[in-house]
Amino acid sequence: MSTTFQLDTSTSRANPTPAPMKRLTVPRIRARKKDGVTEQPLVMLTAYTARQAQLLDAHCDMLLVGDSLGQVIYGLPSTIPVTLEMMANHGAAVVRGSYHSVVVVDMPFGSYESSPEQAFESAAYLLKQTGAAAVKLEGGEAMAPTVEFLNSRGIPVMGHVGLTPQAVNVLGGYMARGRSDAEADKIVTDAVALEKAGAFAIVIEGVVEPIAIAATEAVSCPTIGIGASARCDGQVLVTEDMLGMFERVPRFVKKYDDIAGMIEKTVATYAEEVRDRSFPSDEQTYQPKS
């Protein structure tokens, strides 16, 4: 079965095809960190739809099709129920809506943990179905053989250490990690193991700042912080969180706007105009030709 997707331009009627722009690549992202330093931090946000990708693409280096879509899009209680099919459908939409950013797709819980072979089958499926450039998986030293297996077979991998939401049942919640010496040592060890296995970048989530800095300094690939430190090599947030779509967000989120409030205000105005019959007006109504 063949899959058709558009890699280089956006063709949606919501955003006509832009001037051609060469998409960033995984090696270019990896090369942004030289001699342990990333002069210009990498910008990453989540995206789940084509239109969202269109709006974010020009401003980002990477777009993450996160399994957070389980909560943000589907209203699920966690990321655990998310399926490969969900990730493939949303990943394909984001690739179609972007032409500049590297698109990374999360591998959902249960799709890669049992063996490197299972991980390859799942990752290959995601890349074939979406046209994305890379996958992301959670876990540190224990997942290093899987990362090496995928990388050696042509699948770029972004790692994820610290607070790993797919392991929430083991961790006992979404608390910050790295407060104990043992936890701190493990986070740095995990990051180093992933880098040695070939990860081109590593997300560091929900980690106390000194440990996030230590992990960043310990690896030669870029680190992407979320609830970590400004001294990571880049940052990622869930787009809906930073736009103010939800009332409750993690402590590490900065709300840059109040989109939820804007939507509620606009919808209230629409509802009022419908009820008082001021919408549609003559401007929105078709009349017979004279």
Find out whether 128 is annotated in a ligand binding site. Answer: no
- Please state, in angstroms and rounded to a whole number, the distance separating the CA atoms of residues 18 and 5: 17
- Catalytic member of 85, 205, 217, 264: 205
Residues paired with 44 in a beta bridge: 62, 236
Find out whether 114 is annotated in a ligand binding site. Answer: no
For 243-272, letters b (16+ CB in 10 Å) and e give bbbeeebeebbeeeeebeeeeeeeeeeeee
Is residue 196 within 8 A of residue 144, CB to CB? The reply is: yes
Find out whether 233 is annotated in a ligand binding site. Answer: no
The verdict on whether 205 is a catalytic residue reads yes
Find out whether 136 is annotated in a ligand binding site. Answer: yes
Write out the DSSP string of 167-178: GHHHHTSS--B-
First-to-final CA distance of the chain: 53
Q: What is the 3-state secondary structure (H, E, C) of 115-162?
A: CHHHHHHHHHHHHHHHCCCEEECCECHHHHHHHHHHHCCCCCEEEEEE
Binding site residue list for Mg(2+): 67, 106, 138
Binding site residue list for 3-methyl-2-oxobutanoate: 67-68, 106, 136
Binding site residue list: 67-68, 106, 136, 138
* Residues noted as catalytic: 205
